[in-house]
Amino acid sequence: MKVEKGHANIYRLTLSSYELAALISSARWVTEGAKGDLPPEAINNLKKILNNYDNATNKLLEKAP
């Protein structure tokens, strides 16, 4: 995952197809009422994506003037 700052309040995220699919499927699960439990492997995948996001935004903040 890569996060870049564009103009004003615009950010550009570069995601792998795997990361995008995990985010979309999680959003779909939530919006459809979050019925049933999210499988443990899905939770682990989301934790990795969030960690990648945190790392990418930290790198972006380090570059900021």
- What are the pLDDT digits (tens) for 4-61? 988 888 999 999 999 999 999 889 989 998 888 888 888 999 999 999 999 999 998 8
Residue-number span of the structural domain to which 46 is assigned: 2-63
Neighbours of 45 (CB within 10 A): 19
Residue of 31, 55, 35 lying closest to 23 (CA atoms):
31
Number of domains making up the chain? 1
The pLDDT of residue 7 is 86
The pLDDT of residue 39 is 86
The pLDDT of residue 51 is 95
Output the pTM of the full model. 0.77
pLDDT above 80 for 65: no
